[in-house]
């Protein structure tokens, strides 16, 4: 993006997460406590979509993955104010892992128990992976590029990076972008459990010597991105800047990362080059850090290779949020922006003894004061998808 000549401002942020609904509640949640003995899933208790829908009927016709996206987008646009751009130049780019899988699983049960004619005619528009972004576009009359990326756990990061490029390259003047996920169905949890990806203790402890898998999460985070000069001209409060982003593939294995994090190393270096930065310029890394043995080891090795042993503070927020799959990158980018606002790096919850084979400076115990600067957020997904994005202060 650095070579395109158009800077990308972040002017709005909205968050829906198990640890807090809304920006302020989310930040408080990031400071702890973490997920300890919670089972396979952390969810948003007592979720009520009615504030964002005209009627209960409208809400019932939306899968929660869409409801979360609508709620987060509403908060983001309220903070930003309407971007001063032609609606045909305002895009909507979302990431998700699986879309409306809850609705699909529920309707499969209906068909098996009650017959084909009882299947809801709203199943298709509710289960479509592109439904959240499509409905955000319709709700706010955003008529620019409207696309949904599904690259597993890298989708949120990829969506934000792609959205920023649309602005940097002059293909859009503003984009509402982020990720959403509501994937913790009984069948999905059974599959993740049987492949030993989930924590057997119900505790997420990224980079810890005793880590044993992740806890499934859910939620959404949405940002309003704008061409910098236009945002400043209309008097918007700039809360951050997208400095660079990158995407590549391991081409190694459908679920396991490449040994030594080779793909992640290249992805981080591509993001640095895109931003015109050197490794020494990065002041924080929000890691993918899922709490699985293989992922954390590969990412730690990659970070050490690119930045040097212990050279930059590293945090994983999944010890609090759980792993929200396609929404993870958006939630973690939101955590970066809030970290800059509060001038604190939140601790990696539940991590007490960093794996001695890892040479990374993991922030543990308490939040660490810092001087905000360029921050990299990483996400790596099944299929060998790698994504890195670099965010700077506003």
- Residue positions annotated with a catalytic role: 153, 288, 323
**β-strand partners of 92:** 146, 176
**Helix or strand run (H / E) with residue 271:** helix 262-275
**Helix or strand run (H / E) with residue 381:** strand 375-381
Which pair of structure tokens corresponds to residue 94? 């979302």
241 contacts: CB under 8 Å, gap ≥ 6: 7, 8, 9, 10, 228, 391, 392, 393, 394
Q: How far is CA 76 from CA 88, 216, 267, 314, in A?
A: 19, 25, 28, 26
Widest CA span of the chain, in angstroms?
Answer: 62
Rounded to an integer, what is the distance from CA 32 to the centroid of its chain? 19
Reported for 113-119, long-range contacts at CB under 8 A and 24+ positions apart, including other chains, are: none
Which pair of structure tokens corresponds to residue 66? 């869409």
Which pair of structure tokens corresponds to residue 295? 């992922």
**β-strand partners of 386:** 248, 380
Count Cβ neighbours within 10 Å for each residue of 348-367 and write b for 16 or more, e otherwise: bbbbeebbeebbbbbbbeeb
C-alpha–C-alpha distance, residues 66 and 59, integer Å: 9
3-state secondary structure of 7: coil
C-alpha–C-alpha distance, residues 81 and 21, integer Å: 20
Query: 186-194 vs 101-114: helix axis angle to the nearest 10?
Result: 110
């Amino acid at each position: 993006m650095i070579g395109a000549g158009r800077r990308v401002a972040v002017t709005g942020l909205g968050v829906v997460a198990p640890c807090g609904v809304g920006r302020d509640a989310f930040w408080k949640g990031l400071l702890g406590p973490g997920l300890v003995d919670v089972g396979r899933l952390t969810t948003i208790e007592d979720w009520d979509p009615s504030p964002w829908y005209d009627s209960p009927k409208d809400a019932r016709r939306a899968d929660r993955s869409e409801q979360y996206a609508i709620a987060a987008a509403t908060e983001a646009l309220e903070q930003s104010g309407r971007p001063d751009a032609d609606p045909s130049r305002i895009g909507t780019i979302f990431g998700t892992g699986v879309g409306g899988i809850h609705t699909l699983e529920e309707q499969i049960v209906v068909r098996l128990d009650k017959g084909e004619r009882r299947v809801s005619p709203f199943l298709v528009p509710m289960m479509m992976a592109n439904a959240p972004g499509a409905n955000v576009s319709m709700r706010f009359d955003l008529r620019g590029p409207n696309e949904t990326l599904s690259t597993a756990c890298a989708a949120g990061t990829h969506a934000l990076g792609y959205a920023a490029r649309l602005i940097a390259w002059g293909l859009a003047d503003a984009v509402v972008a982020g990720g959403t996920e509501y994937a913790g169905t009984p069948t999905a949890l059974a599959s993740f459990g049987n492949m030993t990806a989930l924590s057997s203790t119900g505790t997420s402890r990224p980079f810890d010597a005793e880590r044993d898998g992740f806890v499934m999460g859910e939620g959404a985070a949405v940002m309003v991105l704008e061409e910098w000069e236009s945002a400043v001209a209309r008097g918007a409060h700039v809360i951050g800047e997208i400095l660079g982003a990158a995407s590549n593939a391991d081409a190694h294995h459908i679920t396991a990362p490449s040994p030594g994090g080779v793909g992640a190393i290249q992805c981080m270096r591509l993001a640095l080059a895109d931003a015109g930065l050197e490794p020494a310029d990065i002041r924080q890394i929000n890691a993918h850090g899922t709490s699985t043995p293989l992922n954390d080891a590969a990412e730690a090795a990659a970070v050490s290779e690119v930045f040097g042993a212990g050279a930059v503070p590293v945090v994983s927020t999944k010890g609090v949020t759980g792993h929200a799959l396609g929404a993870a990158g958006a939630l973690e980018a939101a955590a970066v922006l809030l970290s800059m606002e509060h001038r604190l790096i939140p601790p990696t919850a539940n991590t007490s003894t960093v794996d001695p084979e890892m040479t990374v400076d993991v922030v543990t115990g308490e939040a660490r004061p810092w001087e905000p600067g360029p921050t990299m957020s990483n996400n790596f997904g099944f299929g060998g998808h790698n994504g890195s994005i670099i965010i700077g202060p506003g």
